[in-house]
Each structure stands twice: as C-alpha cells, then as structure tokens.
Chain A
Amino acid sequence: MSGAPLLEVSGLCMRFGGLLAVNEVALRVEEGQIVSLIGPNGAGKTTVFNCLTGFYKPSAGSIRFRGEEVSGLPGFKLARKGMVRTFQHVRLFKQMSVVENLLVAQHQHLNTNMLAGLFKTLNYRRAEREAMERAAWWLDRLGLTDVANRTAGTLAYGQQRRLEIARCMVTRPTLLMLDEPAAGLNPKETADLQELIAELRDEQGLSILLIEHDMKLVMGISDHVVVINQGCPLADGTPEEVRRHPDVIKAYLGET
C-alpha cells in the first residue's frame, strides 16, 4: 500500500437533472493527513461527501480507497471498509441511551449470530463485553462518561457533537469524514474540537477529511486544503497557499 494515497478522488461529477452540482472535483488524502474541503455555501461540499460515502451514486469520476475503486458502492459497505462520516446536522439515535448509540455503531464487529445470542454462548458474551469496554473507553476519552446512561436526545449540543464523533470512532475507521463539526459550537468548544481532531490523528493514526467554515480551525490543523466553488475546483494546496490565492480570496475568504 506504500505510495498509494488512502483516498484518491478524480474527475468526480454529480448531476441532478440539469444541474451539475459537482464538476470534476479531485482530491487526495494521504495516510495520517488532515485535509479540508472548503467553499462558499452551496458550493457542493456536502454533495461531494455524499458521493464519497455512498449516499449518492456519482455521475462520473473515480473514488479509490486504499487503491480500490469504491465509487457506486452502497453506504454501509463503504462504512465497513473504514470510511465513516458525521453529518452536518447531528444524527444520533435520540431515543437510545448514549452507551447504546456506541453499541449500535459496533454492529458490524459484533457476533450477530441469532443462536449465539439466544443461548448466550461464551463467545457472544465476550463480544458484548468487549463492545461495552470499547464504548466505555471512548466515552471516557471524549469526556462523556457522566452522561453514559442518559438518553442521547437530552444531551447538550456540544455533547451530541462529541457523541457523534465517538460513535464514528467505535466503528474503527481509517478515514474519518467530518461535515462541519464546529457548526453551532462556541469558541471554547471549537478550540477543544481542534485539539481533539489533531489528537485523534496522532493517537489513532486516523486520516481526516473535513468540511468546515471556521477558517481558524481549518487553517490551524489542515495539512492540505481543497477549495471548491459552484461545484468546480477552485484551488488546492497548503493552508498558506490557499490563503494567498487570489481566486479564493475573491470567491470565499474576502479581502481583509
């Protein structure tokens, strides 16, 4: 696998009837990198995400994950390969408890054999215990242990955001895709989030693809930034390069 990037997208197009929402977008995420996707509202960032995670079937282009062509695969299969995403609007299982949210997320790793569960075999019990331990570890890691048995819908917004990240992490992803994780967070929480993302990358060896409007966050942690505007790629490079790019300043960042 050496040399090949973790995720390589080229010529990605998504057409809704007469509307070309995404046009020839290309991006690559190397292992251990944090890559940000930025652009004005309606630029097609979330559409790109939806294509990458199998919610849309792209009209054209190739998506290679660990060198394997994955475009057009259903979402759950992509998730099982290790590409897991969060949503722009938090999508938790609101009626379930926090810890159950994390157990559901581990479904693919659990012993789902009916008979094993009915007779509570040793193997099954061990798998359940391990799932619980993993959930507990991540709750602790994200500072959610106090609310572990609360119903997810009753958490504060910032906690829900963190729970969503924890829920992704228990699936043991290799590429974490965050869709505006800082939306609705206060400056303190955003700073914590920035720290968390960097730590996840360093501790867990994750690669991260990020959509974000908070420029401080983006410029602070990204290794690479891709800018799209009206569905088309506008610029791409290191944060410094992008910040000084005249087109980006005109279309998105604005003169300062």
Chain B
Amino acid sequence: MMLRNLKPALISAVVVVILSGLLMGIRLQQQGTGLVLIGGGMDVAVKIGAAALFIFLFNLFRDHLTALWNRVPALPRTPAAISILAARPAAHRLMWCFIIAAAVIWPFLTNRSNIDLATLVLIYVMLGLGLNIVVGLAGLLDLGYVGFYAVGAYTYALLSMYFGIGFWTGLVAAGAMAALFGFLLGFPVLRLRGDYLAIVTLGFGEIIRILLNNFTSLTNGPNGIGNIPKPDLFGLEFSRRASEGAQTFHEFFGIDFNSVHRVMFLYFLALVLVLFTLFVINRLLRMPVGRAWEALREDEVACRSLGINPTAVKLNAFTIGATFAGFAGCFFAARQGFISPESFTFIESAIILAIVVLGGMGSQLGVILAAIIMTLLPEIARQFDEYRMLLFGLLMVLMMIWRPQGLLPMKRPHLELKS
C-alpha cells in the first residue's frame, strides 16, 4: 500500500519544492538599473524542505490517515432527549425565555467593549434572520443582500443630514425604503432562478454600493456621512450635555453621567429589534404566506397548478427580507455615527449568507448561533492577524464536512391535525 503511494508522494514533494522554491526561495532585487536574482537564506531553504517532507509523508501515509480520520467520531448529533424536549412547545417557550433573560441580564455583568461586541452580534443576527427568509425559507439565493442594508443605513443618514429626522422616524423610513428597493429590484429579477438569480442580485448589491460611492453630490461619496445622531429613548439623550430643547438620560433619572449607559442602551435597542424580527418571522412562518414560501421552494410547478402566483409569493419574501435589512442598516448607521460605502462591500453579503448557511437554512436558533460565531471568531482570532480569513475558511470547510445541514437544521413548526 505504501509502495503504491510512493510515486504520487514523491511527485507532490517535488512540486512543493519547485513551487515554493520559485515563490519564496528566489527574490528579484533592484540593483542600479537592473534586476538580480537573490536566493533566500538558509532558514527559507529549511522551511521549504520541511514543507516538502510534510507533503511527502502526508501522501505516503494518506490511507492510514483516512482510516484514522474515519475513526474520529462525527460531531455529536443533537441528543434525542433534547430534540424531544425541543419539540414540545412549552419547553420551547421556556428555552426562549431563558435565552432572552440571559441576554437582558448579561450586559450588567460585563464590560463596555463586550457589550459593544454583543451589539454587533445582534446586528448580524437581524441581518441573518432577514436573509434567512429569502434564502432559507423561499429558497432564493440572494448575494446582494448588503445592498438593502446600505439602503437602510443611507436612508437614515441622509434624512437626518438633510432634514434632521430623528432615529425612530428614520427607522420606519429606512425599513420602508429598503422594502421599496426590494420590491422594485425583485420585479425584474424574480423570473430568474438559481444561479442566474444569484448573479443578478450580486450585481444589484454592487450597483447600490457604487452608486453611493459615486453620487457625491448627494451621498458625499467615499468620504461617507458623519455625525449621524444617536438614538434617543422617548426624547432622552445619552450624551453628557443635552442638545437644545432636549433632556439627557442621566439628568432625567438623576444619576451620574456614565458613557456605558449609551452602549447599554444601544445593546437593548438592538435586542428589542431582534426580538421584534423574531416575532414577526415566527408569525409569518405559520401564516399562509410562510407555507407558500416553503411550498414554492419544494415545487414551483405544483404551486402554479394550485393557483398560487409564484412571482407574487417570491416578491413577498424578497420585500420582507429587505425590510429587515433596512431596519438593521438604520440601526447600524445610528450606532456607528458614520457610514461610508466601504461598510457595504460584497464580503458583508458573503458573511451574512455564511451565517444563514452555517446556522442551517431556515433555522432561527441556528442563525443566532452562527451570527455569534461568525462575529466573535474574527475578534477572538485577532492575534492571528492576516491568517484570520484562513481560519474562517477552515471553519466553513469543516462545517460542510461534518454538518452540511448547518448547526441546527430547521425544524419547521408542523401544523398538526388534531383528532
């Protein structure tokens, strides 16, 4: 068995030596007007040798390794007891109560930067839940979701810049605007399916970003928009000194000013928005439209033959998904205080999509878990510096091998016929 592997192993080792030798071992350096080749030092040669040896041994023993690999137990399945418990609505409700309670108590026990990070997680949860409607439930692959996020953020930023509109009005406006964009973009796009739909939505996402970048007279272009007002609590501001005609939070309650209050307020605001999103989506799932999304994902032809208008149902999913992105965008703009097109690149769409896929298409708890992982991982792996993305990729690959159905695959609430 080892003899059979010897030849490919040797070849791979030689390839490693040639490739890495050329890439790392030799450098071009400018000397006067010409270029000279300089060989790498001893340490580089040792590293290349070690890499080649590793590849050689790996290929030589790959059968043994595969056998070992197969002996590694698969990630534990969700234990049966938990699935049975989770299937019970009462237990389900209790679990959600615990999660919410933990989320409410938690900020009082931790420090400012952690709360800030948690707020970011919540934004991604909201985005993930929104995209989950489009991708997970309706089965429409949308790669331009960040476009609606940008529309929401810019709607609030521009309205506050030009008309001095406050956060709460801005929130509604941002949602409505994103919904409008979703509707308008959805119209021409939704007759496409699968890959074609993905490419066109990708294009739309980029168009929105480039438009924001180049429409300098309106959006300030790449310089972005700053000084976006922070949210207030029924007119109470979270700043040291109140602006004209307003009152601050600490004055109203007669407590000392503490900048953590604002961070906490933002966190709670995000939490409320997430809970609102969860509530709406849960209701939608049990409504005729939720069932129609699901049916459409399974068999569009059968849907048409039963009198369901596929375009209308898809448009519905697209618009509702976009609305939540708009809310998230508005909150994001208010939290940052500054936005620029930089924040809405394709990688954001990819991350949100990764959250949905990682969490398990259509599963809400899964999306929340995945959002936490995807946001915390880059923070935890900060010391790995540029290898962060590598780690990210590794996680995705491992997930696809171990749990292609996602962390917590969706268990849709099945309607039961009661006897």
User: Interface of A with B (CB < 8 Å)?
Assistant: 53-55, 74-77, 79-80, 84-85, 87, 91-97, 99-100, 103-105, 107-108, 110-112, 114, 117-118, 120, 132, 135-136, 139, 145, 148-149, 167-168, 171
Contacts of B416 in A (CB 8 A): 97, 99, 148-149
B287-298 to A contact mask, C-beta < 8 Å, 1/0 = 111011011001
Q: B302 and A93: CB pair below 8 A?
A: yes
Tell me if B309 counts as interface (CB < 8 A to partner A).
yes
Interfacial residues of chain B within 268-289, with CB under 8 A of chain A in the complex: 280, 283-284, 287-289
B306 touches A167 (CB 8 A): yes
CB <8 Å contact, B415 and A103: yes
Q: Does B414 contact A (CB under 8 A)?
A: yes
- Bound-state CA distance A99–B417 (Å) is 7
* A80-B307, A108-B306 known, 19 other contacts, Cβ within 8 Å: A54-B304, A55-B301, A74-B304, A76-B303, A76-B307, A79-B307, A87-B301, A93-B295, A96-B291, A99-B416, A99-B417, A104-B303, A105-B306, A108-B307, A110-B288, A117-B289, A118-B280, A118-B283, A132-B415
Interface residues on chain B, number (Cβ under 8 Å): 27
CA A149 – CA B416 in complex, angstroms? 6
Once bound together, how far apart are the Cα atoms of A212 and B180, in whole Å? Answer: 48
B244 within 8 A of A: no
Closest Cβ of chain B to A93, distance in Å, is 5
Contact with A along B388-419 (1 / 0, CB 8 A): 00000000000000000000000000111101
Which of chain B's residues have a CB closer than 8 A to the CB of A104? 288, 291-292, 294-295, 303, 306, 308
Do A91 and B301 touch across chains, with their CB atoms under 8 A apart?
yes
Determine the chain A residues whose CB is within 8 A of the CB of B295 once the complex forms.
93, 96, 104
For this complex, 16 residue pairs linking A to B, each with C-beta atoms less than 8 Å apart, are A53-B305, A54-B304, A77-B307, A84-B306, A97-B416, A100-B294, A103-B415, A104-B288, A104-B303, A108-B308, A114-B284, A118-B280, A118-B287, A148-B416, A149-B417, A167-B306
Cα distance A217–B283 when bound, in Å?
46
Contact assessment for A87 and B417 in the assembled complex, using a CB-CB cutoff below 8 Å: no
Q: Mark B377-389, 1 if CB is under 8 A from A, else 0.
A: 0000000000000
Q: Which one of B289, B291, B299, B306 contacts A79 once the chains associate, using CB atoms below 8 Å?
A: B306
B contact residues around A54 at 8 Å (CB):
304
Instruction: Determine the residue in chain B with the shortest Cβ distance to A135.
Output: B417
Closest Cβ–Cβ distance, residue B309 to chain A (whole Å): 5
Contacts of A93 on B, CB cut-off 8 Å?
Answer: 294-295, 298-299, 302
The 3 closest A-B pairs by CB, nearest first: A79-B307, A117-B287, A148-B417
Residue of A nearest to B414 (CB): A97
In the assembled complex, the Cα of A114 lies from the Cα of B179 at a distance in Å of 14
The total of interchain contacts (Cβ-Cβ below 8 angstroms) comes to 114
Q: Which residues from chain B sit less than 8 Å from chain A, CB to CB?
A: 280, 283-284, 287-289, 291-292, 294-295, 298-299, 301-310, 414-417, 419
Which residues of chain B are within 8 angstroms of A168 by Cβ–Cβ distance?
Answer: 306
Q: Is the CB of A132 within 8 A of B308?
A: no
A117–B286 Cα distance when bound, in Å, is: 9
Residues of A within 8 A of B298 (CB): 93-96
| A139 and B417 within 8 A (CB) | yes
Q: A99-B417, A111-B288, A117-B288 are in contact. Are A79 and B294 (CB under 8 A)?
A: no
CB-defined contacts of A107 to chain B, threshold 8 Å: 288, 291-292, 306-308
Shortest CB-to-CB span from B172 to chain A, Å, is 15
